[in-house]
């Protein structure tokens, strides 16, 4: 479905950067996603641009401590030690945002225990408090935490924009399919360069 580019007012929008952690972005990380290394400079430059435009920047960090029950350990037994402890936990090196993407002091940091950035976190209340009606989403993994965040944002009544070249997963087909689904039913899928154009048009007289 062909849509007109979204109107993006940076003063009413938040850039939500999902799970750009050492676990996924360093070669010795517990869940290294090699394909995601390519988006690091795009995410960095996009965060710098959005911050300069007055857009709120939100960083999320994933821990599997909240997923140690239910089906998750059965689906992904390799994500846990023999004693049931998740390999990706708060307080570990893997949990940290990768060094190239350190948040600014006034950015928002959300620690989450499930795929969606809204699940059991304060993200919705923070966005409502700050008058943000649009979420621009980047990060890892396109078809898991990024898509889950996009779907829930849409369900909560936020406008959703996903940056196709600032999101990544371990499988090209899964990345493409996820973006098609988001574009079809949940929001806009644009590039980081198109985001700049959308913001520039909003500021034009």
Given a contact cutoff of 8 angstroms between Cβ atoms, the answer to whether 14 and 127 are in contact is yes
Domains of the chain with bracketed CATH: 10-202 (3.40.50.850)
Structure tokens at 172: 């090209």
DSSP state, 203? T
pLDDT band at 111 (very low <50, low <70, confident <90, very high): very high
- 145 catalytically annotated: yes
pLDDT band at 204 (very low <50, low <70, confident <90, very high): low
Model-level pTM?
0.97
- Give the alpha-carbon dihedral of 104, 108, 114, 116, to 10 degrees: -110
DSSP state, 87? S
Q: Each residue of 19-43: pLDDT tens digit?
A: 999 999 999 999 999 999 999 999 9
Assess whether pLDDT exceeds 50 at residue 205.
no
- 198 catalytically annotated: no
Assess whether pLDDT exceeds 70 at residue 159.
yes
Query: Which residue in 19, 22, 94, 198 is the catalytic one?
Result: 19
- 9 catalytically annotated: no
Structure tokens at 175: 């990345």
Q: Each residue of 60-104: pLDDT tens digit?
A: 999 999 998 899 999 999 999 999 999 999 999 999 999 999 999
Q: Number of helices (H) and strands (E) in the chain: give both, helices first.
A: 7, 6
Given a contact cutoff of 8 angstroms between Cβ atoms, the answer to whether 29 and 100 are in contact is no
Assess whether pLDDT exceeds 90 at residue 141.
yes
The strands making up 108-112's β-sheet, listed across from edge to edge, are 108-112, 56-62, 13-18, 134-140, 159-168, 188-190
Q: What is the pLDDT of residue 182?
A: 98
């Amino acid at each position: 479905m062909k849509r007109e580019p979204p109107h993006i007012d940076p003063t009413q929008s938040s850039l939500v950067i999902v799970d750009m952690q050492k676990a996924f972005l360093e070669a010795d990380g517990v869940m290294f996603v090699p394909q995601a290394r390519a988006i690091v400079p795009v995410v960095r430059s996009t965060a710098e641009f959005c911050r300069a435009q007055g857009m709120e920047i939100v960083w999320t960090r994933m821990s599997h401590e909240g997923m140690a029950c239910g089906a998750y350990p059965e689906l992904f037994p390799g994500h846990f030690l023999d004693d049931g402890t998740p390999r990706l936990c708060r307080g570990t090196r893997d949990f940290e945002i990768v060094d190239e993407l350190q948040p600014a002091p006034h950015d928002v940091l959300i620690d989450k225990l499930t795929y969606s950035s809204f699940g059991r976190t304060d993200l919705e209340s923070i966005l409502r408090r700050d008058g943000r009606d649009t979420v621009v989403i980047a990060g890892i993994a396109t078809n898991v935490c990024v898509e889950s965040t996009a779907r829930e944002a849409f369900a909560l009544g936020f406008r959703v924009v996903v940056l196709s070249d600032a999101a990544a997963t371990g499988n090209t087909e899964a990345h493409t399919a996820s973006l098609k689904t988001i574009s079809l039913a949940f929001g806009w899928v644009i590039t980081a360069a198109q985001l700049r154009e959308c913001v520039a048009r909003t500021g034009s007289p």
